[in-house]
Amino acid sequence: MSMIIDVTGLFVSLMALGVLLLIGQAIRSSVGILRALFLPTSIIAGFIGLLIGPQALGALITRLAGPDALFAGGLLPPSLLDVWSQLPVLLINVVFAALFLGKAIPGIREIWSVAGPVITYGQTVAWGQYVVGLLLALLILTPVFGLPPEAGALIEIGFEGGHGTAAGLSGSFEALGFAEGADLALGLATVGVVMGVVIGVALVNRAFHSGQIPAPGTLLHPEAEEILACETMQEQPPGEVDHPDISAESLSIHLGVVSLAIIIGWVLLQALIRTEALLLDLVGMQDFALMHYIPLFPLAMIGGLILQVALERLGRSDHLNRALINRISGTALDALILAAIATLSLTVIGEHLVPFLILAAAGVLWNVGAFLLLAPRLIPKHWFERGIPNFGQSMGMTATGLLLSRMTDPNDRARGVEGFGYKQLLFEPVVGGGLFTAAAMPLIFQFGPVVMLLVTAVVMAGWLIFGLRSFGRSP
């Protein structure tokens, strides 16, 4: 009987997600400022859920009419919110498992010839977010505000990783005794999305008026909706399968492929956990643990990559339809973002408002400064057109980068979107939600912020020096 109740509760919770998405879309269509900011429907719906929940509407009714008043707990029952709070950790595996499925994987030489400068710029920015965050943790966040050193990873998780990564790492935050970090990371991701569009549009207009780029392109509303449908989607990305086998286009078959990728990732994770345990037993370091804190989703991404390569080797890669994979991933991402924002703890952000604002300001300043100062020096040709999509991603959403790229270079004459797509193949597996993003907090926990500051600074400097020597020029 309890299983029936649990399944029924899950079903009702998913139906409620769907209804909120419809309401969010209706509000987005009728409110011009929301369309102007290109806010995805899932973020709007998530904030609606937050406002009608116990922390906003419920708290207001309780204060005005008492705790026994009707809807004193808000319009969303606790059982529904309990289910929603658990969804992000699960759905993030679907998003990352689908990242490379249905895309032909090009060779390293081909990737590097098109995207080498963009890769060095993107890696420098991502590792720099760790450097900035860890410096803040050592100098301000820990000694002044009492936050744990793991707070030094929040900028990269929230900005470069975005809502999906921030929500997906909630289990790691809890395991490390920093549960409030998940709410702070989600808040930073929201700041990043809004500021990414606002600042990005301002940068595009500044470049136009200064003569750096031709007049910005016009982005049609349907195209914006299509791009925003899925954070991981790229329109006509390089290597995408254009002519899938029609007989294999069943949604259920593609769900099975995504599930298989997640299973492969789970097997890899279990193998890493057991291998680590055996090695630690041999050297007598039973108290050390790293893989125990690593979530499943970066390994699910590797599982999808392995599965895609295997299908290519077997000559079966054309059986996958990338459009269907995108729909699966986009649906999971919409539900993930909505559930994560709706269950966001306003109390946590309120209690840590000053450090939250410091982290947000530092993240924005680093991303903008890196774009204006480093992109012209690391990207020799068309630095603005090729750098702007990476700026958008560094602020929290791949879709933001693609939108800014469409405004800047609608015909992709500078190959900015092409280079951006290739860059993801050597970027996502490591940072922006990859293996190091997942391992960063456990590494800080095990080795301390000073060691990890040195490590990330060396890696950032390495990418920067390599990029300057290989592609650098005076702006």
Q: How many whole angstroms separate alpha carbon 245 and alpha carbon 36?
A: 38
Nearest to 125 by CA among 448, 385, 389: 389
- In a structure prediction context, what are the per-residue pLDDT tens digits for the chain, which is 475 residues long? 344 557 888 888 999 999 999 999 999 889 888 877 667 788 889 889 999 999 889 889 988 888 888 888 889 888 899 899 888 888 889 988 888 898 887 778 888 887 889 999 999 999 999 999 999 999 999 999 999 999 999 999 999 988 888 888 888 899 899 999 999 999 999 888 888 888 988 898 888 888 777 765 544 444 444 444 444 444 344 444 444 444 445 888 899 999 999 999 999 999 988 898 888 788 776 666 677 778 888 889 889 989 999 999 888 888 888 888 988 988 888 898 898 888 888 888 899 999 999 999 999 999 999 999 999 999 988 899 899 989 988 987 777 777 788 778 777 677 777 787 778 777 878 888 788 988 899 999 989 999 999 999 999 999 999 999 998 765 5
Specify whether the CB–CB gap between 437 and 161 falls below 8 A. yes
Q: How far is residue 226's CA from residue 287's CA, in Å, rounded to a whole number?
A: 49
Half-sphere exposure of 67 (CA within 13 A, CB side): 0
| Cα–Cα dist 388/197, whole Å | 11
Cβ-in-10-Å burial (0-12, 13-18, 19+) of 309 comes to: middle
Output DSSP code: residue 52.
T
Indicate the length of the chain as a whole number: 475
CA 332 to the chain's CA centroid: 13
Backbone angles phi, psi at 326, to 5 degrees: -65, -40
Report helix, strand or coil for 207: helix
Nearest of 423, 440, 400, 454 to residue 185 by alpha carbon: 440
Report pLDDT for 242.
46
Residue owning tokens 């939600």: 433
Classify the phi-psi angles of 432: left when phi > 0, otherwise alpha if psi is within -120 to 50, otherwise beta: left
Q: How far is CA 62 from CA 3, 67, 77, in A?
A: 33, 5, 15
* Residue 65, pLDDT score: 85
Q: Where do the domains of the chain lie?
A: 2-76, 91-471
Q: Which of 187, 213, 214 is nearest to 47 (CA)?
A: 187
Indicate the helix (H) or strand (E) that contains 12. helix 2-30
pLDDT at res. 417? 74
CA 99 to chain centre: 12
Instruction: State the amino acid at position 62 in one-letter form.
Output: T
pLDDT at residue 188, rounded to an integer: 93
Cβ(336)–Cβ(167) under 8 Å?
yes
- 108/99 Cα distance (integer angstroms): 18
Specify the 3-state DSSP secondary structure of 352.
coil
Rounded-to-integer distance, Cα 252 and Cα 232, Å: 20
C-beta neighbour count of 451 within 10 angstroms = 13
Residue 62 token pair? 């309780």
> pTM of the prediction?
0.81
Contact 231, 162 (CB under 8 A): yes
d(CA 21, CA 25): 6
Closest of 168, 454, 468 to residue 332, by C-alpha: 168
Cβ density class 397-421: b for 16+ within 10 Å, e for less: bbbbbbbbbbbbbeebebbbbbbbb
Q: Six-digit token pair at 75?
A: 């319009």
pLDDT of residue 288: 65
Instruction: Quote the DSSP letter at residue 473.
Output: -
d(CA 184, CA 133): 13
Q: DSSP string spanning 395-464? A: TT-HHHHHHHHHHH-TT-TT-HHHHHHHHHHHHTTTSSSSHHHHHHHHHHHHH-HHHHHHHHHHHHHHHH
Cβ-based burial of 367 (10 A; exposed 0-12, middle 13-18, buried ≥19) = buried
What pairs with residue 240 in β-bridges? 103
